[in-house]
Chains A and B, each alone.
Chain A
């Protein structure tokens, strides 16, 4: 587990952040640009020395202002992937890859051949960094960091400098290495779709401090998320596994709380772990059992909370047998339906987004 609690002044900006990251997990530091995410991950790496605080990995202090501990970055054994790759221009891809490997003093857990195979680097080995595309560079940078045998991998917006097709090229590799080595990862991002696809845990940052931290499913329900990710991206996240696939209708049924959600099966097969998102604006609430509707997904639940949302709307949290969904409802509808905590409701889900499936790269669906 990574424990972070630091204070650091940068001119007018004060970074005052504390969070714990469980392991193995992919913990995303999420916030808008300028919220202090990069400064924080640099402090963890040892590339920036905080004014006060403590950073510890698995109980061992990497930095502790009170007792004067500050292990230099080169001895922290934390892999770091920079936004701009930073490959050594005077070495070929192989030379870059083995740079950290040759300097690691621990038994090799992450092998050269494995990394080359997993990241598809074979054809690039003899090439120079300047001849590589942005996506290829980032893959080499990932491999180089992994081969240094790190205890944890720090990723500072590794996809931010890439265009959409290049990001799609690199994302599956990130998913693969997260699942293959069970390596704890700390991932800085301001792109919520990346976070949705990769993260298991989320640390929400705003103006130098941590607003909240927890599992992705918990954080997806956090009231501040709309502000950080955009209201259109708000919605409950559900990690589940495919229950059954109906060959006749082509629909996969996925257990969700007391009911199940259905979506086009595509390449899904029973048992496949999936991550679904139900956007708040795609949820309709009814106070009577609905009839004669085209909507396939109808679940029974109970209102848990009603909060102010965007102008003229409310955020309604509904419990459907242990699973919580968010709904965006107009003020008028909320008061006419008498939506209040405890009220039984029927939840109609217009669309379910498949954000990730372990069979391969996430396929946007339904």
Chain B
């Protein structure tokens, strides 16, 4: 592959940064939501389940628009964040991370939830009889056994975050060095005559990253499963 230009490097670094923030931010929340969906018994669980999975079926532009309404400078949450903490999400890297986090959230929850549903609740019961309280049981038994799902979910969500386009461009626009991630840079290149080579390199890069992410997720899950045993 020919050497990348500074602009392309910038897009790649930015994408990795945004995806990392996105995964770190959403992982604890995804574990909590997966736990609620797998083990929780509460009214409105079906609706909650649907809400969590909504980004999978909504047009990404619609999600971006919704984020603008909620987290925009004049939105209920965005305004409050700006006033209280001086945090501005619109047109910022943090906003891009939020948009990719929302879009990849269902993928992450799904992977974690499946691993959680495969854990024998009898093991937690055994931990109880050995003196482990609820948090202790979660930390010492449930969480380690969920690890394959957590890793797979994180890597899949990371790969998906690298490629998120619609929600990002709608929510945080396309600002070089701040919100212009790989797919946005690719889109920009396609808009400019004579940038076919740039577009091709960026597309190849996206392809490679996505593939590597998915293969890595599978390998990690396999390795951890082998470690944990049936």
Contact = CB atoms under 8 A, between A and B. Distances in A.
B144 interface: yes
A61 to B, nearest CB: 19
Nearest to B147: A90
Interface in B204-230: 227-230
A243 to B, nearest CB: 44
Contact of A88 (B123, B133, B136): B123
A78 B129 contact: yes
A82 to B, nearest CB: 6
Interface in B139-177: 140-141, 144-145
A103 B132 CA distance: 7
A89 B228 contact: yes
A74 B227 contact: no
A291 interface: no
B230 A145 contact: no
A89 B145 CA distance: 8
Given A86-B120, A88-B141, A89-B145, A148 B130 contact: yes
Interface in B31-58: none
A103 B227 contact: no
Contact of B129 (A128, A130, A145): A145
Nearest to B125: A47
A130 B229 CA distance: 6
Nearest to A100: B130
Contacts of B227: 90
Given A129-B229, A130-B229, A130-B230, A86 B122 contact: yes
A112 interface: no
Interface residues of A, number: 28
A97 to B, nearest CB: 10
Contacts of A103: 130-132, 136
Interface in B111-140: 120, 122-123, 125-133, 136, 140
Interface in A122-153: 128-130, 144-145, 148
A99 B128 contact: no
A69 B126 CA distance: 22
Contacts of B122: 82, 84, 86
A89 B224 CA distance: 12
Contacts of B128: 46-47, 72-74
Interface string A32-65: 0000000000000111000000000000000000
Contacts of A19: none
Contacts of A240: none
A248 interface: no
A312 B104 CA distance: 76
A201 interface: no
B220 to A, nearest CB: 15
Contacts of A145: 129-130
Contacts of A99: 127, 130, 132, 140
Nearest to B141: A88
A77 B128 CA distance: 10
A90 B228 contact: yes
A180 interface: no
A130 B230 CA distance: 7
A154 B125 CA distance: 14
A103 to B, nearest CB: 4
Given A84-B122, A86-B120, A86-B126, A77 B228 contact: no
B146 to A, nearest CB: 10
Interface string A89-106: 110000000011001100
B164 to A, nearest CB: 33
A86 B125 contact: yes
A79 interface: yes
**Which one of B128, B144, B228 has the greatest number of beta carbons of chain A within 10 Å?**
B128
A80 interface: yes
Contacts of A77: 131
Given A84-B122, A86-B123, A79 B229 contact: no
Nearest to B133: A74
A296 B98 CA distance: 90
B125 to A, nearest CB: 6
B144 A148 contact: no
Contacts of A88: 123, 126-127, 141
Contacts of A90: 141, 144-145, 227-229
Nearest to B134: A74
B131 A74 contact: yes
Contact of B131 (A47, A89, A148, A154): A148
A11 to B, nearest CB: 18
A72 B227 CA distance: 32
13 contacts: A72-B128, A73-B129, A74-B128, A74-B133, A78-B129, A80-B126, A82-B125, A99-B132, A103-B131, A103-B136, A129-B229, A148-B129, A154-B129
Interface of B: 120, 122-123, 125-133, 136, 140-141, 144-145, 227-230
**10 nearest A-B residue pairs (beta carbon):** A100-B130, A130-B229, A103-B131, A80-B129, A86-B126, A73-B128, A89-B229, A90-B144, A74-B128, A148-B130
Given A99-B140, A103-B136, 17 more contacts: A45-B129, A73-B129, A74-B129, A74-B132, A75-B131, A80-B129, A82-B126, A84-B122, A86-B125, A89-B145, A90-B145, A90-B227, A99-B130, A99-B132, A103-B130, A128-B229, A130-B230
